[in-house]
Amino acid sequence: MRTKIVTLACILAPALFAETISTLTAGAAAVNITPPVGIAMAGWVARERPSEAVADDLYAKALVISDQETTLALLTMDLLKTFPNIVSRVRMEVYRRTGIPPGNIMVTASHTHFSPVVDLNGSGPYERAYAETLVGKLAGVVQMAWQNQQPAWIGAGSGSAPEYTFNRRVTGKDGVLFNSWRFPADTTGLTFGPIDPEVGVLQVVAADNRPIASAINYATHPVCGMNELYSLSADYPAFAMQVVETIQGGICLFMLGAAGNQVPIKREGNSRVEIGRGVGAEALKTCQHLSVYNGFPLAVAHKTLAFSTRNNLFTPDEQIDLEIQTMALGDIVLVALPGEVAVEIGLELKARAGVKHLFVMTLANGGNVGYILRRIDYTDGGYEALNGSLPPGSGERIIEQTLGLISALAPVRNAGKTAKTRPANNVYGDISQKGYEAIQKKLQNQP
């Protein structure tokens, strides 16, 4: 089945959901995408030379979920951003290999500022070859996840990690907004913009409770390790995923939230390890008490919107098409937005969507348009307002269109689901119950 990205796809009739019990399957896979040392790096134009070391490896990871009618794929990668020509090629290659419609494939990047330049037309010694290889690896990791599918149960929850992040758009004592790249030593008289501290967690387990995959959704720029400016790194998300994979098991993906103006409190020294492990620990804690379900349907709704562009990122008055994509895993909703989305937009979506488990992902599906703000943020000025290629009002338009797509998924979100019960031979439960009964008997025998 071929699906055009400009349409709503896989929205089935509500009556069908009431009569059908979906059998979910899921599979996950990971592939190393670390480039050779010597490749040019992305993230800061101030860099004067190519990469000189590898601090930690970069990975692409995929999670494929199917209800036997609809199959969805989530592809994440440790790169600065996603690229339109690579996304389109990967989607079509995955469709050729697996039959997953291109519009059912969600592609996001972690936004690490210690990743390589990716350019299919690059002139450097490694850039073009790396980009060509990357296409094959990305398509391949989705294919492996698709092949690894098995009966699965899925749940979602959230923790909070406010201690690692702040909003870099700050209003001074004089009432003028400025960007604070580091957390100020003296905050007297300063007013900070809002933050989103939520650590969203998606968990997928097999029929025997073994972890298949998990995903972390957190909104903070991966810009740590400033003392290793020429070393390739996945930054703090690497250590967040490492905590979950090492202790919980399975494959852990990282999905960057609305982090356009939300940055880490610490950037130098061991900050990427400290922040990553803290966020990972919060996700791990959340995993321990999640309820998981089967029996619910899947769906995707997406739309391509035309925007006019502004400033020097594009030719003035050029039109660009951007994709907004939403996926429903029962009452869990994933949202993929283009560009670097301001945290205020993510917070508004969460407040208005009426969805308990809403995961907002950014820099998705090849939409590279700089910062996306609300209209008032352009009035206030600042770095983000100068480096966004969309005109004022675009943020509000994206909010309303996204809410409309989420609303279209209501039949799936409201469908029934089946909770996974604990095994009857739960040895820990037996021990606890026997201990309780022994204490009760002892108390009853007291004079």
What do you get for the CA distance between the two ends of the chain, in Å?
76
Which of these ranges, 29-43, 212-226, 428-442, has the smallest mean pLDDT?
Answer: 428-442
Are the C-beta atoms of 303 and 292 separated by less than 8 Å? no
The whole-angstrom separation of Cα 83 and Cα 98 is: 22
> With bands split at pLDDT 50, 70 and 90, how would you rate the model's confidence at 17?
very low
Q: Which residue bears the tokens 């960057």?
A: 256
279 pLDDT more than 90? yes
309 pLDDT more than 80? yes
The whole-angstrom separation of Cα 132 and Cα 128 is: 6
- The 10s digit of each residue's pLDDT in 362-403 is 999 999 899 999 999 999 999 999 888 899 999 999 999 999
Burial of 119 (0-12, 13-18, 19+ CB in 10 A): middle
Are the C-beta atoms of 352 and 379 separated by less than 8 Å? no
> With bands split at pLDDT 50, 70 and 90, how would you rate the model's confidence at 11?
very low
**Residue-level pLDDT at 317:** 65
Identity of the amino acid at 197 = P
What is the percentage of the chain residues whose pLDDT exceeds 70?
A: 88
> With bands split at pLDDT 50, 70 and 90, how would you rate the model's confidence at 6?
very low
Which whole-number Å values give the CA distances from 164 to 15, 114, 246, in the listed order? 45, 19, 22
The whole-angstrom separation of Cα 45 and Cα 115 is: 13
Strands (E), 315-428: 319-329, 332-336, 340-341, 357-361, 371-372, 418-419
